C-alpha cells in the first residue's frame, strides 16, 4: 500500500457532560484524527492522546510532534505492506504508543478497504454484538452518583464502572451498591493510591465488585501483586500494561486477575490482539477499555472486543453517552441486552462527516504532495 499523503486533524469535541477522574475533570475531549491516502482509498485512524498528560504521558501535543517528525516520515511516499510491517518501521521510536496506534488503525482501515473485509474479520473477531457498560466519572456527592448511575441503568446499561480516588471511594461504592444491590459494578482508581494508602480498599471487598481497576501507580506491577494477595476482589490492570510482555509478567506475578485492553495504550491493534492472546492462553479474562473515542475509535474498539477472550463488558458506551455531534455518520446505539452491534462494513465500517471534522478542528496539516 503506497502511502501518498497523510492528513492530521487535531480535534476538540464537547462532551455531553463533564468527565471527572482521579487525574482531572474535562468538558471537552481532544484527539488527533488521521487520514492516509493510498491508491484511491482513504484509511482513517484515531490517536487517543488527550490534551493533558493525566492518564498517560502522551498528549495531543506530543503525539502531533511524534507523528509529524518521526512516524509519518517513516511511511510517507513509501510502500507499506500492512500493520505488521509498519510496526517494524516505527520500532526505533521509543514509547509514544498512542501516536503509533493512530497510524496503525488507519493502516488496518486501508487494508480492510483494499481487501473488502471488515476490521472484525481481519482481527479474528467472532461476536456480532459485544456486551458493554458505562464508565461514570466522579460526581458531586454519593447521592448525585446514585442518581447518575440510576439514569444509565434506565437507559439499559447492565454494567456500571465508577471512578474513585482517596476520599471518594468506599462511601461512593457503598452508596451505589446499596441503591442497586444486584448490578454488575466495578471501580477504577486510575493510579490514585499507593500500597500505603490502599488499605481503605479492603472495605470494597464486601461489595461484590467485578474488579478494582488500576489502584496503584502506572509504572508498577509488583505492588499490585502485594495488594491482590490481600484482596478477594480481582485487581484489573489498565495503565500498567503497555505490551503483551507486561501482560504475561503481571499474570506470572499474580499482580492481577483481569486485564483491560486499549489499543492506544499498547501501541496498536496488533499488540492489543497479542495481549488478548497472552491472557486467553492463561484463562485471564479481558475487556475493552475506552478513551472517550469518537465514532472512529469506537468502531475499532467494537471490532477488537468481538474476539473470544473479551468475556467482560467493555467501556464502549453508545455515542450519545459522549457526544451530541460526532465525526462519523454512523452513531452507535445500545441494544436491549446492553450490547452494541459490531460494524460489518469494510475496514472500520465508518465514514467521516467532513463538515463536523472541519468544525471541531483546532489545526490540520497535510503531509506529502498537495
Q: Closest separation between CB of residue 276 and Mg ion, Å?
A: 17
**188 touches Mg ion (CB under 5 A):** yes
135 binds ligand OSB per the rule CB under 6 A: yes
165 in active site: no
Helix axes 222-230, 244-253, angle to 10 degrees: 40
How far is C-alpha 286 from the chain's CA centre?
Answer: 13
Task: State the Cα–Cα distance between residues 248 and 275, nearest whole angstrom.
Answer: 8
| CA-wise closest residue to 1 among 32, 33, 36, 34 | 36
Number of residues that bind Mg ion (CB under 5 A): 3
Near ligand OSB by CB under 6 A: residue from 215, 267, 289, 295: 289
- Among Mg ion, ligand OSB, none, partner that 198 touches (CB below 5 to 8 angstroms by kind): none
Member of 35, 109, 169, 315 binding ligand OSB (CB under 6 A): 315
| Cα–Cα distances in angstroms (integers) from residue 256 to residues 66, 106, 228, 263, 363, in the given order | 32, 32, 6, 19, 41
Check: CB of residue 360 under 8 Å from CB of residue 14: no
20 binds Mg ion (CB under 5 A): no
The answer to whether residue 161 is catalytic is no
Shortest CB 49 distance to ligand OSB, Å: 10
CA-closest candidate to residue 242, choices 218, 278, 277, 222: 218
Report which of 172, 207, 206, 169 is spatially closest to residue 189, judged by C-alpha positions.
169
Sign of torsion over alpha carbons 95, 99, 103, 106:
positive
Q: First-to-last CA distance in the chain?
A: 19
Q: How far is the CB of 41 from ligand OSB (least distance, A)?
A: 28
Rank residues 53 and 358 by Cβ distance to Mg ion and give the closer one.
53
Binding mask 22-41 for ligand OSB (x = CB under 6 A): --------------------
Please say whether the beta carbons of 17 and 96 come within 8 A: no
Give the per-residue contact string, 230-269, with ligand OSB (x = CB under 6 A; - = no): --------x-------------------------------
Is 288 a residue that touches ligand OSB (CB under 6 A)?
Answer: no
Q: Catalytic positions, please?
A: 163, 262
Residues that bind ligand OSB (CB under 6 A): 55, 135, 188, 190, 238, 289-292, 315, 317
Amino acid at each position: 500500500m503506497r502511502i501518498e499523503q497523510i492528513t492530521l486533524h487535531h480535534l476538540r469535541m464537547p462532551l455531553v457532560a463533564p468527565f471527572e477522574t482521579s487525574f482531572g475533570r474535562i468538558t471537552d475531549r481532544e484527539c488527533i484524527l488521521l487520514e492516509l491516502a493510498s491508491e484511491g482509498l482513504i484509511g482513517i485512524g484515531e490517536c487517543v492522546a488527550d490534551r493533558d498528560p493525566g492518564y498517560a504521558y502522551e498528549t495531543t501535543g506530543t503525539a502531533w510532534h511524534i507523528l509529524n517528525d518521526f512516524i509519518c516520515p517513516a511511511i510517507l511516499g513509501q510502500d507499506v505492506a500492512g500493520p505488521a510491517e509498519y510496526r517494524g518501521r516505527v520500532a526505533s521510536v521509543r514509547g509514544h504508543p498512542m501516536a503509533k496506534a493512530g497510524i496503525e488503525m488507519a493502516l488496518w482501515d486501508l487494508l480492510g478497504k483494499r481487501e473488502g473485509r471488515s476490521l472484525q474479520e481481519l482481527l479474528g473477531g467472532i461476536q456480532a454484538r459485544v456486551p458493554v457498560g458505562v464508565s461514570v466519572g466522579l460526581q458531586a456527592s454519593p447521592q448525585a452518583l446514585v442518581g447518575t448511575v440510576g439514569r444509565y441503568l434506565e437507559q439499559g446499561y447492565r454494567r456500571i464502572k465508577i471512578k474513585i480516588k482517596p476520599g471518594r471511594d468506599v462511601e461512593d461504592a457503598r452508596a451505589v451498591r446499596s441503591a442497586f444491590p444486584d448490578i454488575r459494578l466495578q471501580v477504577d482508581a486510575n493510579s490514585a493510591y499507593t500500597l500505603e494508602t490502599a488499605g481503605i480498599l479492603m472495605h470494597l471487598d464486601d461489595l461484590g465488585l467485578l474488579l478494582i481497576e488500576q489502584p496503584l501507580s502506572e509504572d508498577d506491577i509488583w505492588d499490585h501483586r502485594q495488594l491482590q494477595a490481600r484482596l478477594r476482589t480481582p485487581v484489573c490492570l489498565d495503565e500498567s500494561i503497555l505490551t503483551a510482555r507486561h501482560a504475561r509478567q503481571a499474570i506470572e506475578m499474580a499482580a492481577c486477575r483481569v486485564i483491560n485492553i486499549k489499543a492506544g495504550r499498547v501501541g496498536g491493534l496488533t499488540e492489543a490482539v497479542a495481549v488478548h492472546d497472552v491472557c486467553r492462553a492463561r484463562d485471564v479474562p479481558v475487556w475493552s477499555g475506552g478513551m472517550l473515542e469518537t465514532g472512529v475509535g469506537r468502531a475499532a474498539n467494537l471490532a477488537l472486543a468481538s474476539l473470544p477472550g473479551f468475556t467482560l463488558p467493555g467501556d464502549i458506551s453508545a455515542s450519545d453517552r459522549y457526544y451530541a455531534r460526532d465525526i462519523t455518520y454512523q452513531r452507535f446505539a445500545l441494544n436491549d441486552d446492553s450490547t452494541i452491534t459490531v460494524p460489518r462494513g469494510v475496514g472500520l465500517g465508518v465514514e467521516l462527516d467532513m463538515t463536523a471534522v472541519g468544525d471541531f478542528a483546532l489545526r490540520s496539516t497535510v503531509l506529502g504532495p498537495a
